[in-house]
Amino acid sequence: MSKDIEHLKDIQLLVNTFYGRVQQDDLIGPLFNERLAGKWEYHLEKMYAFWQTVLLEEHTYSGRPFPPHAKLPVNQEHFDRWKQIFNRTVDELFEGKIAEEAKWRADRMAAMFLSKIEYFNGEK
């Protein structure tokens, strides 16, 4: 039986496993690898802080998460793949209230980011 997301080390396991899978994905991997070449460590640290703040209410993240994504050449298919990998990673590693919240928050964030990207690109 898996345990819930409770500590920073859990967040790090989730983030590292998820982004390891993202880097290998044929659809979204090239986007991430191109933009984060030489900056993966910085990105992972930022993601630890983001999810630690969101899920554990330990306020270590500061910044605005959307602007770096505003001009990405992505659509619904990319976000669907991102959510698929994220949800599978959470489900394989954890179970519980916070794990479910992680998936819910990722879904809401993906919907908001896609909506804003489409708006900025004049698609909506």
Q: What is the pLDDT of residues 82-116, one digit of tens each?
A: 999 999 999 999 999 999 999 999 999 999 999 98
Of 76 and 66, which is predicted with more confidence? 76
Does the pLDDT value for residue 66 go beyond 70?
yes
CB 95 within 8 A of CB 14: no
- Average per-residue pLDDT in the chain? 92
* DSSP per position, 103-115: HHHHHHHHHHHHH
Average pLDDT over residues 11-24: 98
Residue with tokens 């306020």: 59
The Cβ-side half-sphere exposure at 67, using a 13 Å CA radius, reads: 2
Least confident among 36-40, 68-72, 93-97: 68-72
Could you tell me the two tokens for 104?
């819910």
Share of the chain above pLDDT 70, in %: 98
Residue with tokens 């345990």: 3
**Residue 3, SS3 per DSSP:** strand
